[in-house]
Amino acid sequence: MSTVSERRGPTLLMAVPALVFFTVFALAPLAGVAVLSLMRWDGLGTPSWAGLANWPEVLGDPVTHEAIWLSVKVMILSWVVQTPFALLLGLLTARRGRYREVLGVLYFLPLLLSSAAIAIAFKALLDPNFGMSQALHIAALSQDWLGNPDLVLFVVVFVIAWQFIPFHTLLYQAGARQIPAVLYEAAAIDGAGPLRQFFSITLPQLRYTIITSSTLMLVGSLTYFDIVFVLTGGGPGNATRLLPLDMYLTGFSNNDMGRASTIAVLLVVVGVALSLGLSRLARFDRGSQQEGMG
Amino acid sequence: MTTTRTRPNIVGGLGGFLWLIVILVPVYYVVVTSLRSQAGFFDGNPLAPPANPTLDNYKLVLDNDFASYFANSVVVTLATVVVTVAVSLMAAYVVVRRTDRAAAITYKLFLLGLAIPLQAVIIPIYYMITRLRLYDTLLALILPSIAFAIPLTVVILANFLRDVPKELFDAMRVDGAGDWRTLWSLVLPVTKPAVVTVAIYDGLTVWNGFLFPLILTQSPEQRVLPLALWSFQGQFTVNIPAVLAAVVLSTVPVLVLYVLGRRHLASGMTAGFGK
């Protein structure tokens, strides 16, 4: 009796509204972008069939090549900058205490701000004439941060880190709070110092958090758009024209939606490949761990 | 024991202090500059407190339709959050309480949806919105925003609902309650903390969203706040204090919400990925 009614559950109709929204405005566009990558469309008229013509154009375009390369650079730099800070801050804020509560409010402030607000604030702050270079008069800080093509990519990585480190800090904070205190107590009795404890307990215990955070970071770096768009617009020249921005400019400035869709498909494929690869890494890790225990 | 605790505290404390400065300098700069007059902005030290603080910049921003952009943001955010939470709660109830394949596939579909990057599908969405004759309307922002908020919302609510003891549902059935009454008098009350959390998260995402408004709207009448900040930048050009005053004004409601519901927000940020 209970199994029969158990199987019935609520009517499937209740899932229909969510499914309809999701299918029409998220799933169908995903299929649509693949179809549009095979079309020519200026954004106004009717799309016409182009077959695979967009693909060699996109794959042979030096601007897009550069955009791919820039995106890879930003992806790697972002991971290298954000992970150690997020990890350290996560561990720091994981401990509870009164003053940490207050600090916590400030630490996570960037989470609340829109990319547009953050980009506008930094644009003003980094302005060589009105920003901090006029305040501090330290030569090393008085650069044309956003105008120098050799510097600007690092500035973009920094501003992105400013925006996203708090989110990853929260992940590490949640992970660190789940490490049993007994492990540290036992290690302390065995005479392990703080460094030893960090490498022998904290890091191994956090490995799934590290994989989760890294996956979100690496895949997420393929979607950095708004902050770069407002901060630099891709410039100077094409120095910060990352792949999503390349897609936007190709589609909405050059009115070539077909090519832009091809770039979008590229983004999806790389993103899915990355997350599948990383989740396989996680599963492999979990499997070998079980083997070791068996 | 105490000695092992001291050293990481110094390293961590130093890192924490450094991060505090990195966070506070831009925030401080924005607030201080927004209180400067144009002349004060060009003359004084940008990081010193303003010699003659003024609220003129705020007045200028408010005189330039800020209230209407603000109202648009409120409409889009509220509509998106209310619809998203309602339909997601229903869907979560289905995927948790049904054990058949249809429910399992539905759940898998939403999990897959977590991985769809909004940027990559913006062109087909633009195509659909123009064909539906919704271009440059608030509805053009609301519909896709709901679709992209649903996957994470369903997953978080479903994870929460899974921990609700089966006996409660059985008791409802014994009482003769149908699906809708169960949803209203059991599912909604027991998932309330998760609903609040996820509503705040969804609301923040929509409030700060930039790409949909950039692509799907055009006229000042349909402009929402993040886009307004960007266009203020073009409109006020060198009047940076006014632009930064707009930045402050657009952030105030979020700050208020943050202070009121901080605990919910922090747990909500990681709820979907906490495994």
* Residue A132 near residue A126, CB atoms below 8 Å: yes
Q: Do A130 and B27 touch (CB under 8 A)?
A: no
- Write down the H helix ranges in B55-121: 56-63, 66-97, 101-113
Q: What is the pLDDT of residue B188?
A: 93
What is the DSSP code string of A62-109?
HHHHHHHHHHHHHHHHHHHHHHHHHHHHHHHHHS--HHHHHHHHHHTG
Q: Which band of pLDDT confidence, cut at 50, 70 and 90, is reported for residue B214?
A: very high
Residues B254, A124: C-beta atoms closer than 8 Å = no
Among B123, B211, B269, beta carbon nearest to A251: B123
CB A115 within 8 A of CB A163: yes
> Which residues are A48's β-sheet partners?
A40
The predicted pLDDT at position B109 comes to: 93
Domains of chain B, earliest start first: 2-54 (no CATH), 59-271 (1.10.3720.10)
CA distance B265 to A163: 16
- Please give the pLDDT value at position B263: 65
Query: How many residue pairs bridge chain A and chain B with CB atoms within 8 Å of each other?
Result: 297
* A-contacting residues in B 49-68 (Cβ below 8 Å): none
Q: How close A149 gets to chain B, by Cα (Å)?
A: 23
Is a pLDDT exceeding 60 seen at residue B272?
Answer: no
B48 interface with A at CB cutoff 8 Å: yes
For residue B166, give the amino acid letter.
Answer: K
Residue A289's pLDDT is what?
45
* Residue B218 contacts A, CB cutoff 8 Å: no
At A239 the pLDDT is 92
- Shortest alpha-carbon distance between residue B150 and chain A (Å): 7
Residues of A in contact with B165 (CB under 8 A): none
Spatial separation of the C-alpha atoms in residues A90 and A83, rounded to whole Å = 10
Taking the C-alpha atoms of residue B10 and residue A174, their distance in angstroms, rounded to an integer, is 22
> Rounded to a whole number, what is the distance in Å from the CA of A154 to chain B's nearest CA?
16
What is the Cα–Cα distance from B25 to B247, expressed in whole angstroms? Answer: 15
Q: Which of B93, B119, B260 to mutate to test the interface with A (most CBs of A within 10 A)?
A: B119
Provide the β-strand partners of residue A39. Answer: A49
- CA-CA-CA-CA torsion for B41, B237, A109, A91, nearest 10 degrees? -90
pLDDT tens digit at each of 294 positions of chain A = 444 444 468 999 999 999 999 999 999 999 999 999 999 999 888 888 988 989 999 999 999 999 999 999 999 999 999 999 999 889 888 876 666 667 777 888 898 899 999 999 999 999 887 777 777 777 777 788 888 888 999 999 999 999 999 999 989 988 999 899 999 999 999 998 888 898 999 999 999 899 889 988 998 888 899 999 999 999 898 999 999 999 999 999 999 999 999 999 999 998 888 888 887 877 666 554 444 333
Q: How far is CA B125 from CA A118, B145, B182, B258, B271, in A?
A: 26, 11, 36, 31, 28
CB B123 to CB A225 under 8 A? no
Structure ipTM: 0.87
- To which CATH superfamily is domain A64-289 assigned? MetI-like (1.10.3720.10)
Which candidate from B1, B41, B106 shows the least CB-CB separation from A15? B106
Nearest residue of A to residue B203 by CA position?
A112
Q: Which residues from B are below 8 Å from A122, CB to CB? A: 26
